Chain A
Amino acid sequence: MLCGTAPTLSGEREKMARHSNNDHDNKRLRTRFTGRLFAGLLGLLSGAANAAWELNLQEPVTATARRVYELHSLLLWVIAVIFVGVFAVVAYSLVFHRKSKGHKPATFHDNTAVELAWTIVPTLILIAIAFPATSALVDMRDTSQPDVTVKVTGYQWKWGYEYLTGDAAGIKYMSVLSTPRDQIENKAPKGEHYLLEVDHPLVVPVGKKVRILTTANDVIHNWSVPAFAVKTDAVPGFLRDTWFRAEKEGTYRGQCSELCGKDHGFMPVVVEVVSEEKYAAWVADQKQQMAAVAEDPNKAWTLEEQVALGEKIYTANCAACHQANGEGLPPAFPALNGSKIATGPQQAHLELVINGKPGTAMAAFGGQLSDTDIAAVVAYERNAWTNKLGEVIQPADVKALRGK
């Protein structure tokens, strides 16, 4: 009910900035808590709550999100009025119809007219609400005539983005949580965008209709950005779609919204909305980079080079389960350090990484990583920790194994 008096919302970035004090220190948090609680309650009363005490939906950045915001506000008024009306009657009874005040009970137990009235009136209220609710929904589902189409693939536990249309067609990359492990484990102060930051955000132009196609590689995920009122399941083996047209440049953050296993809480969605010029520049830059890193299949890798690249890929793709120290989290996520696979025949190791292991959380990385990357990460696994096999793996070997 308090939301009815909620203050005007500040933008996502400002909110984060204002809340950038480092809460990793639990003791400080708790000692400060009383003060904050008091300040917060005062804030509620005065209708000037600060950003940390957010009471309402995030500030809408699309027309759809604004409709949802307004629909929610309308409903809030309706339910507040109903609640106050019903419990005013209850309060009157509680005060005046007490036995301790000598009130004698009435004996009535039926009244058809009243009972009909409180069946019909709520029905009429519901019908009235159904109109704005229906039109908001119809608008929300209209994914026709997009300017940009992006396929979003959910992986345990990261997002894959692939631009399908326009100049950007062909741009394809992974988006992984960039919050350092130390912050999560309370060994380092938490950053401004703790858990809501990624290495490569989705970049879209402002004012353009962006259609998002969702699917998943392993389990059901959910791609969600509250400021856009977008939330759609990513179902493995199926395509779903949704859309948004962001009205304001900025960085908008959401999270996976369907329990997808261990690191469900650690796969945020970050969307960068930029001007058309910046978008064009970004597209050109991405294309250039793609051309630049287009791999020379005949490049001969040295062990150091390969292990250095492999470690990066390992951290982004493998460490969540198999852990940075290679010890895994048995039995669900086996250790790689000294394991049969990582110290056994190279081909079996490569095939496992390319094809995954059905029925387990071990995904098929063949579709996610390039030949060079797979070669590097496997080489890293076979040379890190106590696995000192000293093997260099050529991307050509990976290519040869694909599709087998």
Chain B
Amino acid sequence: MQATSHAGYAGNHDHDSHGHPTGWKRWVTTTNHKDIGTMYLWFSFVMFLVGGAMSLIIRAELFAPGLQYVSPEFYNQMLTLHALIMVFGAIMPAFVGFANWMIPMMIGASDMAFARLNNWSFWLLPPAAILLTASLFMPGGAAGTGWTLYPPLSVQMGMGMDMAIFAVHILGMSSIMGSINIVTTILNLRTPGMTLMKMPLFCWTWLVTGFLLIASMPILAGAVTMLLTDRHFGTSFFAAAGGGDPVLFQHIFWFFGHPEVYIIALPAFGVVSHVIPAFSRKPLFGYASMVYAIAAIGLISFFVWAHHMYVTGIPLTGQLYFMYATMLIAVPTGVKVFNWVTTMWRGSLTFETPMLFALGFLVLFTIGGLTGLVLAMTAVDIQLQDTYYVVAHFHYVMVAGALFSAYAGLYFWLPKWTGHMYNEKLGKLHFWLSMIFFNIAFFPQHFLGLAGMPRRIPDYAQQFADFNVISGIGAFGFGFSQLLVLVIVFQAVKGGAKASSRPWDGAHGLEWTVPSPAPYHTFEDPPVFNQAEAHG
């Protein structure tokens, strides 16, 4: 999205005089946080379209009872790859892209702390994506286990499973390096005067997310490595016949998997915490409590993993503990929602596209959070586990939470990246189509789940037919609406109204003190940080 050549700024910056590669070499060798941020964002959008196409195959098959278009095994591969690609290929890289672009500019740093590592973190992603998608063409196809990869089913799979395991290894390395980089940048490269409690909230969310990633990704890597040795080297970590336990995998997986949920959600909270104050023209309410809530959520996220495993036969005392711990997470999450609401209260609101997406996030994420509270109750969860209610719940949190907030961020910072205002009419159209079709696609799934329709099935009994038709219409509408983003971004890259350095009058922060588009190098000397740009 950084379309402007850096050549125009060469005169301003001494070390540009020794020249940079141009063309494709620029992108392969770049250590510039803006270039790398741009690549992350494009990569995530491409993966979003691939994963989205897979979800449309799923919804097409589910449009009517009976097997229509795909075989059950291919259906299982689609739902597995859809999830893996969306989680690891689309949503996580999107927020790393935001982090790369914005964190140095928000804290007044000239670049990320480890610029070369940054390049490698990004370039590990394409091989992993190729491994994942190419596994479809292997004998036996891709992994058909769901993204949770539970053994013994995953031990039965063909070599597509091994490719998925290696892809997860590579993605994990990329994430760990990326987060070490982000944490180090935030802790060490803030401009003088910017204390941690004056730091923009997006940086706070990424600081906590970085630690969550560093702590949880190695655990996932361990789990899939054990799976690999069970598959090929005769170990029995997860095989009862050899003294292992299949449920052990689930404990390890979800010890990673639950923090993962917040790895996706926290940066989304960060973006929204910038957008809502900007368009309310009012400082964020309760900055300090926001920070404490983020830290609390990050910490508690490590202690609730088995609420994904209420039906595996964990003991009653375990179920009770995990139920109470899970309910506890509702408190800091509630604090965040109340703070956003109070930020808008008695503000001076306008409704440009970023604000619309932030409001959409607020409404839909709250619905997802509240159904999460329902699912926290073990007795109710046992009734709803592995039904479409859960599918609806996590799509409200993941799509409406993370994706809507990413769009809020995209429209918010696009003028800064491209130097042009995007097409506001198209942006609003994109929001309304997304909002309406999302709810048509996913709200009926609550009813399907309550009525008892299991998830991960390619065919279903007839009483589920009607809501699946509605859900299918919504999914296709939602999917095709997303192509608007391509049009809007291309238009803004190519031209449009010139954006001033601060295109939103309510926006605060150091990123708005540099010209639009942001020069290739910013803040080579630490800027002066004053209260006007402070967030705390």
Known: A129-B327, A255-B457, A331-B140. A58 touches B452 (CB 8 A): yes
Q: B302-344 toward A: CB 8 Å interface, digit per residue (1/0)?
A: 0000000001110010011001100110110011011101101
Which residues 254-286 of A sit at the B interface, judged by CB distance below 8 A?
254-266
The answer to whether the Cβ of A305 comes within 8 Å of any Cβ in the partner chain is no
**A126 and B385: CB pair below 8 A?**
no
**B331 and A123: CB pair below 8 A?**
yes
From A23, A263, A359, contact of B156 by CB (8 A): A359
The answer to whether the Cβ of A319 comes within 8 Å of any Cβ in the partner chain is no
**B459 and A57: CB pair below 8 A?**
no
**B377 and A133: CB pair below 8 A?**
yes
**B379 and A136: CB pair below 8 A?**
yes
Which of A32-40, A370-378, A383-391 is found at the contact surface with chain B?
A: A32-40
Alpha-carbon gap, A240 to B379, bound state (A): 17
A158 CB to closest chain B CB, in angstroms?
Answer: 15
Alpha-carbon gap, A232 to B309, bound state (A): 10
**B153 and A259: CB pair below 8 A?**
yes
Alpha-carbon gap, A233 to B153, bound state (A): 14
**B152 and A109: CB pair below 8 A?**
no
**B469 and A258: CB pair below 8 A?**
no
The answer to whether the Cβ of A114 comes within 8 Å of any Cβ in the partner chain is yes
A124 CB to closest chain B CB, in angstroms?
Answer: 10
**B462 and A190: CB pair below 8 A?**
yes
A368 CB to closest chain B CB, in angstroms?
Answer: 17
The answer to whether the Cβ of B245 comes within 8 Å of any Cβ in the partner chain is yes
The answer to whether the Cβ of A63 comes within 8 Å of any Cβ in the partner chain is no
Known: A86-B337, A331-B139. A93 touches B246 (CB 8 A): no
B334 CB to closest chain A CB, in angstroms?
Answer: 5
A: interface residue count bin: 35 or more
**A137 and B316: CB pair below 8 A?**
yes
The answer to whether the Cβ of B362 comes within 8 Å of any Cβ in the partner chain is yes
Alpha-carbon gap, A236 to B379, bound state (A): 24
**B152 and A53: CB pair below 8 A?**
no
From B73, B240, B374, B459, contact of A236 by CB (8 A): B240
From B66, B313, B331, B338, contact of A184 by CB (8 A): B66
**A332 and B73: CB pair below 8 A?**
yes
Question: How many inter-chain contacts with C-beta < 8 Å in the A-B complex?
Answer: 321
**B150 and A220: CB pair below 8 A?**
yes
Which residues 107-153 of A sit at the B interface, judged by CB distance below 8 A?
107-111, 114-115, 118-119, 122-123, 126, 129-130, 133-134, 136-138, 140-141
The answer to whether the Cβ of B56 comes within 8 Å of any Cβ in the partner chain is no
**A86 and B466: CB pair below 8 A?**
no
Which of B5-13, B38-46, B285-293, B418-426 is found at the contact surface with chain A?
A: B285-293
Chain A residue at minimal CB-CB distance from B343: A109
**A71 and B469: CB pair below 8 A?**
no
**A54 and B463: CB pair below 8 A?**
yes
The answer to whether the Cβ of A290 comes within 8 Å of any Cβ in the partner chain is no
Which residues 325-378 of B sit at the A interface, judged by CB distance below 8 A?
327-328, 330-331, 334-335, 337-339, 341-342, 344-350, 359, 362-363, 366-367, 370-371, 373-374, 377-378
B304 CB to closest chain A CB, in angstroms?
Answer: 14
Q: A23-50 toward B: CB 8 Å interface, digit per residue (1/0)?
A: 1101001100100110010000000000
Alpha-carbon gap, A297 to B228, bound state (A): 45
**A37 and B470: CB pair below 8 A?**
yes
From A54, A72, A126, A231, contact of B311 by CB (8 A): A231
Which of B181-189, B275-283, B430-438, B489-497 is found at the contact surface with chain A?
A: B275-283
Q: A174-197 toward B: CB 8 Å interface, digit per residue (1/0)?
A: 000000000111100010011110
Which residues 46-105 of B sit at the A interface, judged by CB distance below 8 A?
63-68, 71-73, 76
**A235 and B285: CB pair below 8 A?**
no
The answer to whether the Cβ of B532 comes within 8 Å of any Cβ in the partner chain is no
**A97 and B347: CB pair below 8 A?**
yes
**B463 and A72: CB pair below 8 A?**
no
Alpha-carbon gap, A194 to B65, bound state (A): 9
Alpha-carbon gap, A283 to B351, bound state (A): 70
The answer to whether the Cβ of B263 comes within 8 Å of any Cβ in the partner chain is no
Which of A74-82, A163-171, A198-206, A339-347 is found at the contact surface with chain B?
A: A74-82
Please give, as numbers and ranges, the residues of chain A lying within 8 Å of B283 by CB-CB distance: 107, 109
Please give, as numbers and ranges, the residues of chain A lying within 8 Å of B285 by CB-CB distance: 108-111
Known: A82-B370, A114-B342, A231-B385. A29 touches B312 (CB 8 A): no
Please give, as numbers and ranges, the residues of chain B lying within 8 Å of A360 by CB-CB distance: 156
The answer to whether the Cβ of B486 comes within 8 Å of any Cβ in the partner chain is no
Alpha-carbon gap, A302 to B320, bound state (A): 60
Alpha-carbon gap, A190 to B374, bound state (A): 35
Chain A residue at minimal CB-CB distance from B470: A37
The answer to whether the Cβ of A7 comes within 8 Å of any Cβ in the partner chain is no
Q: B470-496 toward A: CB 8 Å interface, digit per residue (1/0)?
A: 100000000000000000000000000
Which residues 58-77 of A sit at the B interface, judged by CB distance below 8 A?
58, 65, 67-68, 71-72, 75-76
**B457 and A29: CB pair below 8 A?**
no
**A52 and B463: CB pair below 8 A?**
yes
Please give, as numbers and ranges, the residues of chain A lying within 8 Å of B31 by CB-CB distance: none
Known: A19-B462, A76-B374, A255-B454. A103 touches B313 (CB 8 A): no
Please give, as numbers and ranges, the residues of chain A lying within 8 Å of B281 by CB-CB distance: 99, 105
**B347 and A68: CB pair below 8 A?**
no
Please give, as numbers and ranges, the residues of chain A lying within 8 Å of B72 by CB-CB distance: 262-266
Please give, as numbers and ranges, the residues of chain B lying within 8 Å of A76 by CB-CB distance: 374
Alpha-carbon gap, A258 to B337, bound state (A): 34
A24 CB to closest chain B CB, in angstroms?
Answer: 6
**A137 and B140: CB pair below 8 A?**
no
The answer to whether the Cβ of B29 comes within 8 Å of any Cβ in the partner chain is no
Please give, as numbers and ranges, the residues of chain A lying within 8 Å of B146 by CB-CB distance: 259
**B158 and A29: CB pair below 8 A?**
no
A89 CB to closest chain B CB, in angstroms?
Answer: 6
Please give, as numbers and ranges, the residues of chain B lying within 8 Å of A237 by CB-CB distance: 239-241, 245-246
Known: A33-B469, A55-B450. A110 touches B286 (CB 8 A): yes
Alpha-carbon gap, A111 to B343, bound state (A): 12
The answer to whether the Cβ of B407 comes within 8 Å of any Cβ in the partner chain is no
Alpha-carbon gap, A193 to B462, bound state (A): 8
B92 CB to closest chain A CB, in angstroms?
Answer: 23
A40, A140, A238, A258: residue with the most chain B Cβ atoms closer than 10 Å? A258
The answer to whether the Cβ of B27 comes within 8 Å of any Cβ in the partner chain is no
The answer to whether the Cβ of A219 comes within 8 Å of any Cβ in the partner chain is yes
**B466 and A40: CB pair below 8 A?**
yes
Alpha-carbon gap, A109 to B337, bound state (A): 15
Alpha-carbon gap, A142 to B324, bound state (A): 20
The answer to whether the Cβ of B271 comes within 8 Å of any Cβ in the partner chain is no
From A26, A57, A83, A93, contact of B347 by CB (8 A): A93
Which residues 116-156 of B sit at the A interface, judged by CB distance below 8 A?
139-141, 144-146, 150-153, 155-156
Please give, as numbers and ranges, the residues of chain A lying within 8 Å of B447 by CB-CB distance: 2-3, 53-56
Alpha-carbon gap, A107 to B347, bound state (A): 8
Supply 16 further A-B pairs (C-beta < 8 A) apart from A30-B469, A110-B287, A235-B246.
Answer: A23-B465, A29-B64, A37-B466, A40-B466, A52-B465, A68-B379, A71-B377, A99-B350, A103-B349, A105-B348, A115-B289, A194-B65, A231-B385, A235-B313, A255-B452, A264-B76
A-B contact pairs, 18 of them (CB 8 A): A23-B65, A75-B373, A75-B377, A90-B341, A103-B346, A105-B282, A109-B284, A109-B287, A110-B288, A122-B330, A122-B334, A220-B153, A222-B311, A235-B313, A237-B246, A262-B73, A265-B460, A266-B72
Across chains A and B, which 4 residue pairs bring their CB atoms closest together, nearest first? A237-B240, A265-B457, A240-B313, A79-B370
